[in-house]
Amino acid sequence: MSGTFAPRPGAASLPRQVLAQARTEARLMLRNGEQLLLAVVIPVIVLVGAVAGSERVGLELDASAVDTFAPGVLALAVMSTAFTSLAIATGFERRYGVIKWLGSSPLPRSGLLAGKVLALLLVELLQLLVLGGTALALGWDPVVSGASVLGALLVGVLGTAAFAAIGLLVAGTLRAEATLAAANLVYLLLMAGGAVVLPASAYGGFGEVAQWLPSGALGEGMRAALVDGAVQVTSLVALGAWALVGTVLTARTFQWE
Amino acid sequence: MHDDHEPAVVVDALEMRYGAKRAVDGLSLTVARGSITAVLGPNGAGKTTTLETCEGYRRPQRGTVRVLGLDPQADRRALLPRIGVMLQSGGAWSGIRAEEMLRHAASLHAHPLPHELLVERLGLADCGRTPYRRLSGGQQQRLGLACALVGRPELVFVDEPTAGMDPQARRTTWELLEELRADGVTVVLTTHYMDEAERLADTIHIIDRGRLIATGSPVELTRGGSVSTIRLVVTSPFPPDAPQSLTAALGPGTTVTVLDALSLLVTGPADASTLARVSRWCEEQGVLPESLSLGTRTLEDVFLELTGRGLGDEPGSPDPQRDGALA
């Protein structure tokens, strides 16, 4: 058979499909005003506000304000992208049948997941550039060593995995609107009370609990790496456990439609 | 690679239930390669469930489904690149631009069609940069069709392809589907538009309440449109035994279908003597005819005879078929 529509089917190679999926998702995430607000604007405001504010209220910190808050704000950025943005985006993908349609395309579900993870990492890289640049401009002086880079990287990756698993758990079970509300609410609660930007020690007794929350583990682990140059195993264990539990629950409950 | 004589789709004794409701109830049908096959039925007849089982979304609860010789569940990865799917609605990110969506769909395939070609053929050029959520219903449908075709599939499943389209867009879509067939693509479409099925399909499977109630070409089903119909509308309700008494009055070779309290359809030779008998019957029954109209037998009449009710009662969507069907 010949002609314009003569069949010539075939899937693109899996890496090409995953890249295409990641590119589309990252582009849509960065184009969305609310997502951008969460990803960049709020963390920048928090960073500048915390540095300026802590000097006024005279918060007692082990390191300088910017050295303490910059790792926390990076942790906040991971949380906003891997949890809130991912949950909201995925919730609406379910609502609009995007995931359903992709289910009839050559892209396998593992490829869809890989594409989402890659898109998250791309956005996080951009966040790191913007937030890191802002922090440096404010006088940030992070510890740079093999251990600090390794620690920050491990905490970032495990934190992304933990929050992404929880985000998908929410997005895969609730309706899109409920996901939107829940993802924003949890983000605000954890930002305020989850030891992500402020060290767990600033919360008094609750700090003991907070450091085991995914937010606290992410924040504490990031601070341990970039303030003390240490790989904090307890944080990694906590994040790994959250990632594992979240993944198992998501795999059991996720509804594709 | 495959046997060209083997049907593109074989559904055998398929049963699908949602709770106590039987959505598909022992359905069997085949789709010949290179044909346009319409699955016709009212909303809720089980069309979409059947299609989604062929597309690998649902596992048959009973019976089997083979698509291009493959099991849509077990051989999913081998099958999906070879088929194109247009969902009844949605399927795209709300913020994605039409052209981006099409490019994205293309990038998942090894030998995609040039997206410019589909943009032009489906009249999407002037909305290429419009986000999906701002496209009209018809534009969303056309984009969905473009995404189903961009991977050069052997077989496309299109679910209600022209719902919500204006007449111009419907014609363009029909021409495109006919061109697909000419180029060797098998097309399976669901519709509740009679004119769509009649115009496009080589084979029509009429489904009602999850069962196949008739199969044939449009000509076979309407018997070439030669058999005529008489539609009678009266001013006061018919007596309860109207079908029986009218059938008796008309004699053999005619069928009487009550459409509602005030109208009925007579299928059979619509000659002067039949007309005279119908008016005499009205006189005997004491009902006043409001209108008595003649028509050729259409698919809609076939459907009415088979099921005793009409098609396409979708609330809020005007059914273009209704106009002129029984003029």
CATH number at residue B206: 3.40.50.300
Residue B2 belongs to a domain: no
Beta-bridged to residue B25, according to DSSP, are: B15
Is B181 an interface residue toward A (CB < 8 Å)? no
Nearest C-alpha of chain B: how many angstroms from A110?
A: 12
Q: Mention every residue, 6+ apart, whose C-beta is less than 8 A from residue B116.
A: none
Helical packing angle, A109-137 and A14-31, nearest 10°: 50
- The domain in which residue B251 lies consists of 227-296
Q: CA nearest A240: which of A172, A163, A133?
A: A163
Q: Are residues B28 and B140 in the same domain?
A: yes
Residue B75 belongs to a domain: yes
The beta-carbon neighbor of A9 closest among B55, B57, B82 is B82
Interface test with A, best of B57, B75, B77, B104 (most A CBs within 10 A): B104
How confident is the model over A88-144, as pLDDT tens digits?
A: 999 999 999 999 999 999 999 889 989 999 999 999 999 999 999 999 999 999 999
Q: Which residue of B has its CA nearest to A11?
A: B109
At B138 the three-state DSSP class reads helix
Amino acid (one-letter) located at B284: E
Q: CA nearest B91: which of B146, B163, B155, B165?
A: B146
* Residue A34 pLDDT: 85
The beta-carbon neighbor of A12 closest among B89, B100, B107 is B107
Q: Compute CA B285 distance to the chain's CA centroid, rounded to the nearest angstrom.
A: 38
At A198 the three-state DSSP class reads coil
> Which residues does chain B have within 8 Å of residue A105's beta carbon, measured at their own beta carbons?
80, 85, 105, 108, 151
B window 71-90, beta carbon within 8 A of A: 77, 80-83, 85, 87, 89-90
Q: CA nearest A136: which of A44, A234, A28?
A: A44
Residue B188 belongs to a domain: yes
Alpha carbon distance B285, A66 (integer Å): 95
How confident is the model over A24-57, as pLDDT tens digits?
A: 999 999 998 888 888 899 999 999 999 888 877 7
Residue B290 belongs to a domain: yes
The torsion defined by the Cα of B9, B12, B13 and B17, in degrees rounded to 10, comes to -40
Q: Is the dihedral angle over the CA atoms A173, A179, A181, A185 positive or is it negative? A: positive
DSSP state of A85: I
Domain boundary among B199, B219, B239: B219
Q: pLDDT band for B310, please (50, 70, 90 cuts).
A: low
Q: Are residues B164 and B97 in the same domain?
A: yes
Residue B207 belongs to a domain: yes
Q: Are residues B92 and B60 in the same domain?
A: yes
Q: Higher pLDDT residue, A157 or B270?
A: A157
Q: Are residues B121 and B179 in the same domain?
A: yes
Q: Which residue of A has its CA nearest to B53?
A: A104
Residue B301 belongs to a domain: no
Q: Are residues B106 and B237 in the same domain?
A: no
Domain boundary among B194, B219, B244: B219
Q: Are residues B167 and B262 in the same domain?
A: no
Alpha carbon distance B98, B134 (integer Å): 10
- Mean pLDDT value across chain A: 92
Q: Determine contact, residues A52/A152, Cβ cutoff 8 Å.
A: no
Amino acid (one-letter) located at B10: V
Q: CB–CB of B95 and A28 under 8 A?
A: yes
Q: CA nearest A117: which of A147, A159, A149?
A: A159
Q: Which residue of A has its CA nearest to B104?
A: A20
Q: Which residue of B has its CA nearest to A31?
A: B95
Q: Are residues B152 and B21 in the same domain?
A: yes
Q: Higher pLDDT residue, B253 or A23?
A: A23
**In the numeric block, which tokens belong to residue B257?**
């279908």
Q: Are residues B169 and B251 in the same domain?
A: no
Judging by beta carbons within 10 Å of its beta carbon (0-12, 13-18, 19+), is residue B310 exposed, middle or buried?
Answer: middle
* Residue A58 pLDDT: 67
Amino acid (one-letter) located at B97: R
DSSP state of A145: S
Q: Determine contact, residues B60/B53, Cβ cutoff 8 Å.
A: yes
Q: Determine contact, residues B239/B285, Cβ cutoff 8 Å.
A: yes
Q: Are residues B195 and B273 in the same domain?
A: no
Nearest C-alpha of chain B: how many angstroms from A244?
A: 27
The beta-carbon neighbor of A6 closest among B81, B83, B184 is B184
Alpha carbon distance B178, B201 (integer Å): 9
Q: Are residues B207 and B234 in the same domain?
A: no
Backbone φ, ψ for residue B29 (5° rounding) = -160, 160
Residue B51 belongs to a domain: yes
Query: What percentage of residues in chain B have a pLDDT greater than 70?
Result: 91
Q: pLDDT band for B325, please (50, 70, 90 cuts).
A: very low
Residue B303 belongs to a domain: no
Q: Higher pLDDT residue, B36 or B166?
A: B36
| Per-residue CA distances from A240 to A59, A82, A111, A156 (Å) | 31, 15, 22, 11
Q: CB–CB of B110 and A96 under 8 A?
A: no
Q: Determine contact, residues B234/B250, Cβ cutoff 8 Å.
A: no
Q: Mention every residue, 6+ apart, whose C-beta is less than 8 A from residue B249.
A: B277, B278, B280, B281, B284
Q: pLDDT band for A8, please (50, 70, 90 cuts).
A: very high
Q: Which residue of A has its CA nearest to B113?
A: A5
CATH number at residue B240: 3.30.70.1560
Q: How many domains does chain B have?
A: 2
Give the H/E segment covering residue A36. Answer: helix A33-36
- Is 90 exceeded by the pLDDT of residue B31? yes
Q: CB–CB of B152 and A8 under 8 A?
A: yes
Alpha carbon distance A253, A172 (integer Å): 7
Q: Classify the complex by whether its ipTM is higher than 0.95, answering yes or no.
A: no
Q: Mention every residue, 6+ apart, whose C-beta is less than 8 A from residue B213.
A: B206, B207, B306, B307
Q: Are residues B194 and B240 in the same domain?
A: no
Q: Are residues B288 and B161 in the same domain?
A: no
